[in-house]
Homo-oligomer: A and B are copies of this chain.
C-alpha cells in the first residue's frame, strides 16, 4: 500500500482531501499532534508533509491557530522557455541559426541605459529557423558590464541565447508575452505577410540587480505557440509545441 516515504503519503492524503473539496478553502486541517496519532509517527514527519503543502501554496500555517486550506487565488502555471536550438531539435526538425547584425554601442534610451549600467552594449540581431523555415527573429542586447566576456564570443557560430544560458547566470527575469502585427522588415526576414499576427516574447534578466540581457523574439503566430503546464502533483512545463 504505502508506496513511498510516509511524509509523502501524508502529503498526498491531505492534498486529495483538499482538491476533492472534502476540505474546503478556509477550513482547518487536523493539528499536527492529531496527524501524529492518525499515522503513528513523529511530529517532524507530519510537519514535513505540512511544510510541503505550504510551500506549494495549498495551505497556510499560523502559529497557535493551526493549518488552513488556502483560498484559490489564481491560475498559475510553470512556463519553461528553453533554448530554441534544443527545442527545435527535440521536435525532430533541423535547427538553423544565422547572425544578421552585430555591433557594439552605447545605450540609446533610458531602458538601455539601465541595462548598460555605465558600460557599453552588444546589439545583436539573429534569425532562428526550423527545417529552413524562419521561426523567430531575435533582437538581443547584452550588457557588457555584467557579461564582459561576451565581446570575445563568436556569435556567428553560437547563438547568444545558448551562450548566455551556459555562461551568465541570472537571478531575476521578467517575461512579457504579447501579440503584434509584423512590421515590414520583420515580415521580410520571417517570410510572412506584413501585418501578420506574431507572438512577441520580451525577456529581461538581471543578476543581483545588474542587467544582463534583454531580448525580443518575434514568432510568426501560425508557426509557434508557448505551452505552460501545471499539475498540482508535480509541476513542469514546456514550450514551443507545433501548432495543432
Contact = CB atoms under 8 A, between A and B. Distances in A.
B19 A175 contact: no
Contact of A224 (B178, B195, B196): B178
A243 to B, nearest CB: 7
B173 A230 contact: yes
Interface stretch (A59-67, A69-77, A129-137, A151-159): A69-77
Contact of A78 (B73, B79, B243): B79
- This protein's copies in its complex: 2
A78 to B, nearest CB: 6
A232 B170 CA distance: 8
Interface residues of A, number: 58
Contacts of A126: none
A125 to B, nearest CB: 20
**Pairs of residues from A and B, 9 with the lowest C-beta to C-beta distance, nearest first:** A179-B221, A74-B82, A197-B197, A179-B179, A179-B199, A178-B225, A177-B226, A75-B81, A175-B228
Interface of A: 18-21, 55, 72-83, 165-166, 169-181, 195-200, 203, 205, 207-208, 219, 221-222, 224-233, 237, 241, 243
Given A75-B165, A179-B198, 19 more contacts: A74-B83, A75-B81, A76-B237, A77-B78, A77-B173, A79-B79, A172-B232, A172-B233, A173-B229, A173-B230, A173-B231, A175-B227, A177-B177, A177-B227, A178-B225, A180-B221, A180-B222, A181-B197, A197-B221
